[in-house]
Structure 1
Amino acid sequence: MSRNPLIASLIIVLSASFIFISVVIYPMLDMLYPSPDETVSSKTLSIAISTDIKTLDIAKATSIADFEILGNVYETLFRITYDVDQGKLKYVPWLVDYYAQVNKTFWVFKLKNNIVFHNGKTLTAYDVNASIVRAITAGGIPQMLFTDTGGKPIIDRIVVFNETYFGIALRKPFAPLIEHLAHLSMGIMPRDLAEKYMNQTITDINDVVGTGPYKIVSWERGLSAKLAKFENYWRGVPKIDEINYLIMPDANTRIIALKSGQVDIAIDIPPEAIDQLRIDGFNIIATPVVRHVIVAINTQRLPDTRIRCALNYAVDKESIVTNLMKGYAKVSNSVISTIFPGAKELKPFNYNPVRAVELINEAGGINRTLTLIVSTKGSKDLELAEIIRHYLKNVGVDVRIVPMEHTAFLNKVFTEHDFDLAIYGPSPSSTYYALSYWKTGSYLNGPLYSNTRSRRATRKSNLDY
């Protein structure tokens, strides 16, 4: 077959470079602090979000809400931005003023001057050192970002030259270093707090201290989180005095709150509600995101690539984009989102149920009911599961849908690998992180995909500059 075997082996549908209508934290920050020629206004901004934060500890943050809220409090050495012209993510210096790669395994960095934390202390290289060590030690995303697939640390040591300059020595060449330092879970905090919580989780709101434009002043679990502007923010006094996040899990409740004036912004609006809101005069902001919705195929349960190709041919992905997502998504043409620098666009599987049946018959049939597991957390995932079942039924494949609580779902996919098909939507921040979902031996490789060619390619991408 002429099809790329990597694509055929992995997925049924990769949809969504931009999924829901949302206000992403980075662009939002640009609206909240003034440019030099602007005056500061006094205002409170109310935002309806669908989920509560799960932690006050930036190093252990995992959810969109965690990063949405704590991303106003903490900042990183580099920042993830979006190049509209190129349609790609960019990683730009933020707390860092200058950096250079000395050789394949050693980088030197210089911090910007006159940046202060919310507690009034000046940012130094000692804070950076303690924050990085603490983040990786704390586990979670930082540990994954800075641990190779063999379980060994990527960073060998951090060298602090003085309060402004520091270096990072790598155990081996690692191309995505800057991308990973830009992840919000690598937020910089004061040295004393990093050391205090080196082996603990931050739970005291008074110890949530960063360099960002806002300080968190209150959090009522399941109800709200309130931020207040930081007067000494290094980029200028923020325009908005307070930001109130109101947790509203139900989409209709968020829409009603928006229409009644209870909130100024509502995040995660279902696609089917967008047209009416636009007619009602509301501004709709659709921002590109990295979420990549897939139906993973367990390669141990379905080892024949003809079967996996057939499942791809069987699903009309363009119809899903049009009818389920109302055009606020697109059919993916890569194993990772092409929003990442260097990601290549490939030709996706076309909808061809006749070819799907041919391949299934050629492989001797499936001859059993497939189990499709889906988390009840995703607002569209259950609907997508029903659509997938319909398409596969049309080519003679029976599917049983098993909804489950999100934690149990994650365990089934990434620990037990106990599924035939599974719907999930990773939101990685870098090419390396995204590829981790398909790397041999990676915890994130739920489908247990393994291929010699892909292993060589991903290994090469980690080392080349």
Structure 2
Amino acid sequence: MNRTAKHLTAGLFALLASTVLPAAAWAQSITIAIGSEPSTLDPQLRDDGGERQVNDNIYETLVARTPTGELTPGLAAEAPSQVDATTWQFKLRENVKFHNGEPLNADAVVASVARVIDPANKSEQMAYFGTIDRAEKVDDLTVNLITKGPDPILPSRMYWMKMIPPGYAKDGDLAGAPVGTGPYKFDSWNRGTDLKLVANAEYWGGEPQIDDVTYRFVTEPGTRLSGLMAGEFDVITNLLPEFTQQVPKFAAVPGLETSVFVLGTDNEVTKDPKVREALNLAIDRKAMVESLFMGYATIAKGAHINPAAFGFNEKLDNYAYDIEKARALIKEAGAEGKPLVVIGESGRWLKDREQIEAVAAYWAQTGLNVTTDIQEFSRYLDSLMGTGPRPDAIFIANSNELLDADREMSFIYHKDGAAASNSDAEMAGKIDAARVETDVAKRKALYDEVQQKGHDLNYTVPLFNLQDIYGMSERMDWKPRVDAKLMVSEMKVVE
């Protein structure tokens, strides 16, 4: 190397040394590609997985779970105590503040509870909170939650309810610029493209290691994959099973989601039990699970209740595959040529579009006139949980973070559920009774009865219990959670 080159090289290194931040500072920015853009950032009104993937880092709950699923204190300082059959008392952590400076106290908890259960707000999350009557302040750091009847899983419910700052909820913009108590604060949202969070340096649990995270909204799994391979993304959701060995890193964990079609049992075609039975018999689930999931899913056993949840009816079996009987049932019902509209979305769940299209093709073989409607996610949520007519059949990968059958029953089987399949008053009565039954054996028996009836009358078309599969860049150090929460504070970057 000549003298001039040496001087240039020395000068270049001196310049870099004076301008480049240490690796520990610049390396702590990550990008996560998720399958759907949040329809809102209000944490209490919609039941939207895209919203949760972001807001789980901004907001917190009174009760939390460990990565393996055990309940643990969150914003509560300790596990709640039961005062009487319908009253649970929570002691709050001291000196916790929302990002805007408002205190996390009993008033904030009371306001949070009141807002989410207010019928005027029409929260889609009421399948989680239907037993809660009200919250009452005891003192600044003590609050009582009162239920409509005995509720043995109230602590699990409070794992789901995010606490909001009451002043900001009244005068601010929860939907567009959220404010919580969590380890990350909202920074910016470029609609249709990305959203950025930054670390909360004053977080009560200690400042997180990753300085900022950008969420990219990428519907197509192939695009998420190519972005990961190109070094554009650090974590991608719903990695296709066939590419687990091609990515730098991947992780798969048993998930809490069960893919299912919810049938509108009062609709013209699907009100006939023979048609609903045919829809279950027409699907070759074994062929689908082998061709689509490569071992990362199992066939759901006769119901959309997750096997990990208390109350799962283990006596149910898979629906058989019998296309000839399905065709005969459609003919007996006089439904040949009648229209059946199948509604779904694409990108939110593992192999969602593929499941929808495969099932629609099976159903078309029965003689029904089947069409599919793949909707943008916000519109899809309105179809699933809105106030309009129930769809003939709508796809969802239904989750159960409460680990109790009440979640899925209240959501889909109960006639007043946000995604109700039916108007069966008897079934609703049993679900209501089970919700407040404290005798474990009696509660389980009620759940078994409800699932058996739903199975026999084919109220839903359950498909698969799904695993959660993630792709990661080489620099990511992260073990996914059983509840599928993307907790950035649990992630690390290694260089």
The alignment's TM-score, normalised by the length of structure 2, stands at: 0.72
Q: C-alpha separation between the residues in 2 aligned to 1:189 and 1:393?
A: 47
Is 2:111 the partner of 1:140? no
Q: C-alpha separation between the residues in 1 aligned to 2:79 and 2:364?
A: 57
Q: 1:303–1:252: structure 2 CA closer, same or farther, 3 Å change rule?
A: closer
1:111-150 equivalences in 2 (<5 Å):
111-137=92-118, 138-143=121-126, 145-147=128-130
Report deviation, 1:75: 0.3
Of 283-292 and 255-264, deviating more is 283-292
Q: Tell me the secondary structure at the aligned position of residue 45 of structure 1.
A: strand
Q: 8 Å contact 2:330–2:368 — kept in the other structure?
A: no
Residue 251 of structure 2, aligned match among 276, 285, 304: 285
1:62-81 equivalences in 2 (<5 Å):
62-81=47-66
Residue number in structure 2 paired with 1:325: 293
Of 247-256 and 399-408, deviating more is 399-408
Q: 1:271–1:225: structure 2 CA closer, same or farther, 3 Å change rule?
A: same
Residue number in structure 2 paired with 1:342: 311
Q: 8 Å contact 1:118–1:211 — kept in the other structure?
A: yes
Q: 8 Å contact 1:313–1:350 — kept in the other structure?
A: yes
Q: C-alpha separation between the residues in 2 aligned to 1:273 and 1:344?
A: 34
Of 170-179 and 410-419, deviating more is 410-419
The residue identity in structure 1 corresponding to 2:167 is D
Q: C-alpha separation between the residues in 2 aligned to 1:377 and 1:171?
A: 38
Cα RMSD, aligned residues only: 3.1
Residue 358 of structure 2, aligned match among 384, 387, 401: 387
Q: 1:124–1:272: structure 2 CA closer, same or farther, 3 Å change rule?
A: same
Q: 1:203–1:357: structure 2 CA closer, same or farther, 3 Å change rule?
A: closer
Residue 158 of structure 2, aligned match among 157, 181, 186: 181
Task: Give a deviation string over 1:275-314, Cα, whole Å, max 9, x none.
Answer: 433xxxx211223333322223332334444443343223
Of 220-229 and 370-379, deviating more is 370-379
Q: C-alpha separation between the residues in 2 aligned to 1:259 and 1:364?
A: 51
Task: Give a deviation string over 1:131-186, Cα, whole Å, max 9, x none.
Answer: 22233344423455444xxxxxx444322121221112223333443232221xx3
Report deviation, 1:386: 3.8
The residue identity in structure 1 corresponding to 2:256 is V
Residue number in structure 2 paired with 1:31: none
Residue 174 of structure 2, aligned match among 194, 199, 202: 202
Residue number in structure 2 paired with 1:168: 145
Unaligned runs of at least 5 residues, structure 1: 1-38, 84-88, 148-153
Residue number in structure 1 paired with 2:228: 258
Q: C-alpha separation between the residues in 2 aligned to 1:335 and 1:292?
A: 6
Task: Give a deviation string over 1:223-258, Cα, whole Å, max 9, x none.
Answer: 222222122322222111111222333333322221
Residue 205 of structure 2, aligned match among 220, 226, 235: 235
1:268-283 equivalences in 2 (<5 Å):
268-277=238-247, 282-283=248-249
Is 2:43 the partner of 1:58? yes
Of 158-167 and 350-359, deviating more is 350-359
Q: 1:42–1:211: structure 2 CA closer, same or farther, 3 Å change rule?
A: farther
Task: Give a deviation string over 1:345-369, Cα, whole Å, max 9, x none.
Answer: 32111323455456567x5654343
Q: 8 Å contact 2:168–2:174 — kept in the other structure?
A: no
Report deviation, 1:76: 0.5
Report deviation, 1:270: 2.9
Q: 1:445–1:62: structure 2 CA closer, same or farther, 3 Å change rule?
A: closer
The residue identity in structure 1 corresponding to 2:42 is D
Q: C-alpha separation between the residues in 2 aligned to 1:418 and 1:194?
A: 32
The alignment's TM-score, normalised by the length of structure 1, stands at: 0.76
Identical-pair percentage: 26
Q: C-alpha separation between the residues in 1 aligned to 2:288 and 2:354?
A: 10
Residue number in structure 2 paired with 1:18: none
Q: 8 Å contact 2:40–2:176 — kept in the other structure?
A: no
Q: C-alpha separation between the residues in 1 aligned to 2:26 and 2:203?
A: 16
Q: 1:340–1:160: structure 2 CA closer, same or farther, 3 Å change rule?
A: same
Residue number in structure 2 paired with 1:247: 217
Q: Tell me the secondary structure at the aligned position of residue 426 of structure 1.
A: strand
Q: C-alpha separation between the residues in 2 aligned to 1:51 and 1:307?
A: 33
Q: Tell me the secondary structure at the aligned position of residue 286 of structure 2.
A: helix
Q: 8 Å contact 1:46–1:243 — kept in the other structure?
A: yes
Is 2:163 the partner of 1:192? no
Q: C-alpha separation between the residues in 1 aligned to 2:188 and 2:48?
A: 19
Report deviation, 1:204: 5.8
1:341-380 equivalences in 2 (<5 Å):
341-345=310-314, 346-353=316-323, 355-356=325-326, 363=332, 366-378=335-347, 380=351
Q: C-alpha separation between the residues in 1 aligned to 2:361 and 2:337?
A: 16
Task: Give a deviation string over 1:442-463, Cα, whole Å, max 9, x none.
Answer: 14354325273x3343122211
Residue number in structure 2 paired with 1:5: none
Q: Tell me the secondary structure at the aligned position of residue 58 of structure 1.
A: coil
Is 2:437 the partner of 1:464? yes
Q: Tell me the secondary structure at the aligned position of residue 288 of structure 1.
A: strand
Q: 8 Å contact 1:77–1:93 — kept in the other structure?
A: yes
Q: 8 Å contact 1:224–1:246 — kept in the other structure?
A: yes
Is 2:112 the partner of 1:159? no
Q: 8 Å contact 2:127–2:411 — kept in the other structure?
A: no
Q: C-alpha separation between the residues in 1 aligned to 2:234 and 2:70?
A: 29
Report deviation, 1:214: 1.0
The count of corresponding residues between Structure 1 and Structure 2 is 402
Q: C-alpha separation between the residues in 2 aligned to 1:243 and 1:410?
A: 26
Q: C-alpha separation between the residues in 1 aligned to 2:254 and 2:353?
A: 23
Q: 1:166–1:447: structure 2 CA closer, same or farther, 3 Å change rule?
A: closer
